Amino acid sequence: MTRFEYDDSDVVVVVGSGAGGGTLANELCQRGFKTVVLEAGPHLTGPDYENDEWKAFAQMAWTDPRTASGSWEIARDFPNLPAWIVKAVGGTSTHWAGACPRFKPHELAARSVYGPLEGTTLLDWPITLSELAPYYDRAELKMGVTHRHGRPPLPANNNYKVFANGAEKVGYRDYATGPYATNAEPFDGRPASIQDGFNFQGDKHGSKWSTLVAELPKAEATGNLDLRPDSHVAQILHDADGRASGVLYVDRNGTMRRQRAAVVCVAGNSIETARLLLLSSSARFPDGLANSSGQVGRNYMRHTTATVWGQFDKPVRMYRGETMAGVIADESRLDTDRGFVGGYYMETISLGPAFFAKFVAPGSWGTSLAEIVDGYLNTAGMWIVGEDMPQETNRITLSKDTVDANGLPVADVHFDDHPNDVAMRRHGRQQGTAVYESVGATRTIQTLPYPSTHNLGTARMSARPRDGVVDRFGRAHDVPNLFVSDGSVFTTGAAANPTLTIVALAIRQADYIATEFRSTAR
């Protein structure tokens, strides 16, 4: 295992080892950069993972305190759990499901296409789809995305059979079992899925792409990776010229460490990325690092989501097989005649009884809940995920009264739905209900959004420094050797699940860093 000196100021420090940070680290190591990855969570691997929802959650989820405020239901139902993010090597790419749609051309020009929607801070991305397309190719190739570049599709599981038949019945055409970054057949040294149904719990088999199983081992093999788990970064430090000089972190023994750096890249997943920038304030940067625009933490997006369940008079057994392995894309089209801008996808989802009962109707009990749970075996599920509107007041701030175990103020996540989000969610629920009713559902259930699994926009890309936090390569407008390398940089959210785009942007950022900074490895 490679170790670099704390005082080695040639290294690139990457904060977070998830989809963004883990990919960037590998790409930098391949290009010869000495790379130190600081990951707050432990280094768990497949054999450690639990085939059990609550155990897996307790083992891996970020359960350090956070607070929630605003009118979203999450602030009422899950006030200390605004988001589901993993704190472990591999980050949330260990729990993700693997859905990999690309952005559509108009989704990178949301302000131009949707117009000035009241209450939003819509802005065009400073990049176009044709600039991104080659990086999407590279991301799909490395992740082994099904349905792309000749990779075979996943087979239909029970949940998909209900979903796809319903889609066909209501007249949808654009449905399939992917694209997903899970192997239908062996690829890249990893085996094919055995359909164990524990994707959200870390996929013990390693069939699903994650930075834990795919990126970090390759980075390690270059000899350029120094991966430090159980290392929580508390502050990014800067020199007299306003350049990032390194980071202060707390290691697994509680010892304070300073790692010097030539470049610092932050990929803590939007909430923690914004928190870290805000915590890194100084005399020169009184409102937080890279925050002269006041945009750090603002425009927080989480996708407009909902779940629709259909219950039938025959068994479904949705829990058998891939947790998510089905996409209906018809509603992701550009079509503002539906009463809202933006589009959404429908994707199969399955939960075990433990999560199902907890999340299906938060706060409910009595016969209404019992009847729903009694129908578990005969239940099919779909998740709706669509573009939500950026708003200035949807925002990560530092809590004024709650601190974590290190005494650092925790993130408060404030969110109010925009009327466009509400209209889209209503439409999605209606359509999802129609899908299940068309194949004979005797009951349909509409579930509120879960704690956010997609967290975006808190350090957004902008052409003009005053509109955002980073430039078109994710480089901070204010600090030339500070990069943001996760979904925080999303200017707008698009309908697509974000990870493929996070990975594509990380590869692109690595290319850019390699041209701007000399590679430092031996």
Ligand X SMILES: Cc1cc2nc3c(=O)[nH]c(=O)nc-3n(C[C@H](O)[C@H](O)[C@H](O)COP(=O)(O)OP(=O)(O)OC[C@H]3O[C@@H](n4cnc5c(N)ncnc54)[C@H](O)[C@@H]3O)c2cc1C
Report d(CA 339, CA 187) in Å as an integer: 43
Applying CB under 6 A, does 233 fall inside the site for ligand X?
yes
CB of 35 to ligand X, least distance (A): 14
Whether the Cβ atoms of residue 77 and residue 197 lie closer than 8 Å to each other: no
Nearer Cβ to another protein (176/503): 176
Which residue in 87, 5, 90, 112 sits closest to 45, CA to CA?
Answer: 90
Q: Are 153 and 177 in contact (CB under 8 A)?
A: yes
Q: How far is the CB of 406 from ligand X (least distance, A)?
A: 10
* Least distance CB 498 / ligand X (angstroms): 5
Work out what residue 154 binds among another protein, ligand X, none; the CB cut-off runs from 5 to 8 Å by kind. another protein
Span of 35-43, 65-73, 138-146, 409-417 interacting with ligand X by CB under 6 A: 35-43
Q: Which two tokens stand for residue 225?
A: 């990776």
Quote the least distance from Cβ 423 to another protein, whole Å. 22
Q: Shortest approach of another protein to residue 172 CB, angstroms?
A: 9
Please, which residues have CB within 8 angstroms of residue 5's CB and are 6 or more apart in sequence? none
User: Which class for 43: exposed (0-12), middle (13-18), buried (19 or more C-beta within 10 A)?
Assistant: middle
CA atoms within 13 A on the CB side of 143: 34
Compare residues 72 and 96 and give the one whose CB is closer to ligand X.
Answer: 96
Q: Which of 272, 330, 331, 478 binds ligand X (CB under 6 A)?
A: 272
Residue type, 333: R
Gap between the Cα atoms of 430 and 22, Å rounded: 38
Q: Name the minimum Å distance from CB 219 to ligand X.
A: 15
Using rule CB under 6 A, residue 326 touches ligand X = no
Q: Which two tokens stand for residue 419?
A: 């009327």
The verdict on 322 binding ligand X (CB under 6 A) reads: no
Quickly list DSSP for 384-412. EEE-----TTSEEEEEEEEE-TTSPEEEE
The minimum distance between CB 484 and another protein, in angstroms, equals 24
Q: Which two tokens stand for residue 385?
A: 């995920």
Contact status, residue 17 vs residue 505, Cβ threshold 8 Å: no
Q: Which does 21 bind (CB under 5 to 8 A by kind): another protein, ligand X, none?
A: ligand X
Q: Quote the least distance from Cβ 246 to another protein, whole Å.
A: 40
Give the one residue of 193, 453, 481, 492 binding ligand X; rule: CB under 6 A: 453
Contacting residue, 4, 12, 13, 21, with ligand X by CB under 6 A: 21
- Helix, strand, or coil (residue 370): helix
- 514: partner contacted, choices another protein, ligand X, none (Cβ within 5-8 A by kind): none
Do the beta carbons of residue 83 and residue 55 sit within 8 Å? Answer: no
Binding residues vs another protein (CB under 8 A)? 51-54, 102, 105-106, 108-109, 112-113, 128-130, 133, 147, 153-158, 160-162, 164-165, 167-168, 173-178, 193-198, 204-205, 314-317, 319-321, 352-354, 356-358, 363, 365-367, 369-370, 373-374, 376-377, 439
Nearer to ligand X, 379 or 499 (CB): 499
* Separation between Cα atoms, residue 170 and residue 346, nearest integer Å: 13
Structural Rg of the chain based on CA atoms: 22
Partner whose footprint covers residue 367, from ligand X, another protein, none (CB < 5 to 8 Å by kind): another protein
Distance CA 81, CA 59 (A): 15
Q: CB 248 → ligand X: shortest distance, Å?
A: 10
99 is a site residue for ligand X (CB under 6 A): yes
The DSSP symbol for 486 reads S
Residue 17 binding ligand X, by CB under 6 A? yes
> Of 441 and 500, which has the nearer Cβ to ligand X?
500
Contact 482, 491 (CB under 8 A): no
Q: What are the tokens at 396?
A: 């990560």
The residues that bridge with 484 in the sheet, in sequence order, are: 266
Of residues 78, 84, 175, 490, which one binds ligand X by CB under 6 A? 84
Which range in 15-23, 111-119, 139-147, 157-165 contacts ligand X by CB under 6 A?
15-23
Considering the complex, state which of residue 374 and residue 516 has its C-beta at the smaller distance from another protein.
374
The answer to whether 288 touches 270, Cβ cutoff 8 Å, is: no
**Of the candidates 506, 469, 398, the residue with the CA atom closest to the CA atom of residue 37:** 506
Does 15 interact with ligand X (rule: CB under 6 A)? yes
Q: CB under 5 to 8 A by kind: which of another protein, ligand X, none does 19 bind?
A: ligand X
Beta bridge partners of 461: 470
Q: CB-wise, 77 or 287, nearer to another protein?
A: 77
96 binds ligand X (CB under 6 A): yes
Q: By C-beta, is 106 or 138 nearer to another protein? A: 106
What's the order of all strands across the beta sheet hosting 35-38? 225-228, 35-38, 12-15, 263-266, 482-484
**Interaction of residue 19 with ligand X, rule CB under 6 A:** yes
Residues that bind ligand X (CB under 6 A): 15-21, 38-41, 84-88, 91-93, 95-99, 200, 232-233, 267-269, 272, 276, 324, 453-454, 486-487, 497-500, 502
